[in-house]
Structure 1
Amino acid sequence: MRDINQSEDIMGIGQQDVFQPYVTEDGWTVVTPGAESGRRQAQGKKVYAWSQVEVQLHSKEDLDVCIAHLKESDRRFELNSRNPWDWSIASYKGNTVRFGVEWYDKDFFEERKEAYLNPKHTVMYSHFGATVNDFAVVHYLTKEDGTIVSKA
């Protein structure tokens, strides 16, 4: 029973859209929308490069922790439009997590594209039982709309 002293937003005014995970035709469960949520377009950003990342995890528990990290990071990107990079869709299948990194600045991409090898990142990976060896990363140069042109 609803508390009559509690207000109810029956018209949905002021309610943020809440992302709902979904399964793609090839069986990947999408857990965050990343820049594809529309924030890239809303911020007028153009993609310079894109990195495809896959992480092979060792257990369901590790998978859950990794996804929680990605969700929190995606939430923070929604709050800060000044970043020269952003996540693209994050998804999982079995114990494999897949996501992308959109890069909006050439110099920043060249400087930071291997940041996943940084010791600060590797410490974070230990929270979900992974090491650098569990990552596969491929970098691509793109057209402004994100269409892949070539490997970087």
Structure 2
Amino acid sequence: MPKPAMAPEPAAPAAVAQAEPEPKPAPKPEPKPEPKPAPKPEPAPAPKPEPKAEAPKAPVAKAPVAKDPVAKAGGDYQIQLAALRSPDVAASEWKRLSTKHKDLLGGLDSQVIRADLGKKGIYYRLRAGPLADRDAALALCAQLKARKVGCIVARKGH
């Protein structure tokens, strides 16, 4: 019986010995965060003006391209901007989006399509178009996504 009593005693000092090295690494991370905040403010102002200057250039060049195919030919493509639970909400969303992004959506007509998704319920898909081809729809979606507007390409009747 004396043997089991001796076994727990060596285990306890081992745990104490392991706990001592842990506090030593803790002071090391403290000096590291101090140098990090200083470099952050310096690079932040430099990148911000660059994207602002580039962003307006791309939509200005692409917007007429997207409108020309719409005006000249009907096309079989549309963009889907939302899937909502009611047709009234879908109509309100079109009004909001077409006003906010008039330069991109101004030449398009909206369409609300009822979609029965079974157990998921009934949704109303907000689509805009027509667009002449898939490339025109993809280009328009890319511009809308750059503005944080959800967008997918869809074919009429699908």
For normalisation by structure 2, the TM-score amounts to 0.30
| Structure index of larger Rg | 2
Q: Which has the higher helix share?
A: 2
The higher-RCO structure (CA 8 Å, 6+ apart) is: 1
Q: Which has the higher strand share?
A: 1
